[in-house]
């Protein structure tokens, strides 16, 4: 009996020393929503958004793209890149590509019967623009077309950020077409010029295209400016294709039998610039 009591005591001691299994409470993980892909700062709205997936290619093949910029652009050029084939789609372009015209809307259309957008394909549109000050900006829109519909349910593709593909310089470089002086009240090298009409009415110059910025100065042979108007850089979008320099009140008159030099800088709406210098000799005093 005593032996049985000792065994029961031993079991009691062992039971008190036995640890219960460590039961961990389930951990609930917070699901973080994906941050939205930053959109191009210059675009107010467009047919597709940067990073958009499951885009229907049929509607794009029919109607093309339309992007509205927040501020006017004065020149634009479009490049369309097929990432699946790794090539530039030349049949997709803007009907106003490289036009020097103010607009907020850039359209991108496809040449009929060529380069249809395919299903489940990554595309990239790069739009180069210039503002009034001729600063060049690059806007990149990447998107993915939807998978072709099938009975098998496929997971939604994830659009990943990619480095923009910049087309080679041979496609982006433009043929220079700077403004040309086509007529003037006085030509370079003219002699026997009557100064009195110029003193009264100024001197006019005409160009083959509209001018957006210009600077003009009339000086003597020694290089001293006569201070005729306008002074400094003139900048306006509606200058037209003609400029004029006029005598300011109190400024020196053109004299007889004297050499004068006119320096002209002009910039057109496409940001191309030209410089001209006209030297002329007034006639002897009658």
In a domain, 15, yes or no: no
pLDDT of the residue at 19: 47
* Closest by Cα among 109, 146, 102 to 125: 109
Same domain for 167 and 63: yes
In a domain, 36, yes or no: no
**This prediction's pTM:** 0.66
Same domain for 60 and 167: yes
CA distance 209 to 212: 10
Q: What are 97's two structure tokens?
A: 């590509």
Are the CB atoms for 179 and 220 separated by under 8 Å? no
In a domain, 12, yes or no: no
CA distance 173 to 171: 6
pLDDT of the residue at 38: 84
Give Cβ neighbours of residue 249 (< 8 Å, ≥ 6 apart): none
Same domain for 87 and 51: yes
pLDDT of the residue at 175: 45
Which segments in the chain show pLDDT lower than 70?
1-35, 150-176
CB atoms within 10 A of CB 240: 12
Last residue of a domain, one of 172, 204, 230: 172
CA distance 110 to 117: 10
pLDDT of the residue at 102: 87
pLDDT of the residue at 100: 84
pLDDT of the residue at 202: 98
Kindly report the backbone phi and psi dihedral angles of residue 11, in degrees, each rounded to the nearest multiple of 5, phi listed first: -65, -35
Q: Residue by residue, what is the 3-state secondary structure of 231-247?
A: CCCEEEEEEEEEEEEEC
Same domain for 112 and 52: yes
- Domain extent, residue 261, equals 181-281
In a domain, 33, yes or no: no
Same domain for 132 and 69: yes
Same domain for 117 and 163: yes
Same domain for 185 and 115: no
Same domain for 134 and 97: yes
H-helix or E-strand spanning residue 70: strand 65-73
CA distance 100 to 140: 21
Are the CB atoms for 67 and 47 separated by under 8 Å? yes
3-state helix, strand, coil in the chain (%, to 5): 10, 40, 50
Helix (H, G, I), strand (E, B) or coil at 9: helix
CATH label of the domain that carries residue 55: 2.60.40.1220
CA dihedral 68, 210, 215, 247 (to 10 degrees): -130
In a domain, 199, yes or no: yes
Same domain for 71 and 168: yes
Same domain for 145 and 81: yes
In a domain, 18, yes or no: no
Are the CB atoms for 207 and 181 separated by under 8 Å? yes
pLDDT of the residue at 183: 97
In a domain, 27, yes or no: no
């Amino acid at each position: 009996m005593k032996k049985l009591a000792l065994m029961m005591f031993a079991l009691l001691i062992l039971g008190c020393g036995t640890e219960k299994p460590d039961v961990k409470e389930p951990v609930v993980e917070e699901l973080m929503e994906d941050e939205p892909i930053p959109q191009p700062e210059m675009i107010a709205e467009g047919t597709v958004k940067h990073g958009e997936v499951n885009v229907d290619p049929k509607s794009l093949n029919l109607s093309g793209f339309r992007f509205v910029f927040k501020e006017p652009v004065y020149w634009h050029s479009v490049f369309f890149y097929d990432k699946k084939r790794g090539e530039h789609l030349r049949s997709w372009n803007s009907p106003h590509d490289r036009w020097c015209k103010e607009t907020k809307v850039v359209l991108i259309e496809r040449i009929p019967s060529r380069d249809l957008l395919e299903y489940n394909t990554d595309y990239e549109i790069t739009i180069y623009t210039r503002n009034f000050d001729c600063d060049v900006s690059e806007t990149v829109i990447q998107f993915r077309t939807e998978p072709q519909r099938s009975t098998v349910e496929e997971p939604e593709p994830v659009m990943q950020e990619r480095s923009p593909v910049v087309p080679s310089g041979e496609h982006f470089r433009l043929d220079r077409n700077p403004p040309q002086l086509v007529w003037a009240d006085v030509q370079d090298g003219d002699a026997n010029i009557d100064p009195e009409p110029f003193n009264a009415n100024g001197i006019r110059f005409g160009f083959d295209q509209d001018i957006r910025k210009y600077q003009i100065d009339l000086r003597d042979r020694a290089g001293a400016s006569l201070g005729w108007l306008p002074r400094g850089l003139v900048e306006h979008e509606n200058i037209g294709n003609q400029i004029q320099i006029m005598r300011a009140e109190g400024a020196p008159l053109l004299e007889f039998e004297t050499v004068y030099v006119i320096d002209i800088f002009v910039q057109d709406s496409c940001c191309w610039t030209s410089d001209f210098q006209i030297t002329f000799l007034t006639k002897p005093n009658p």
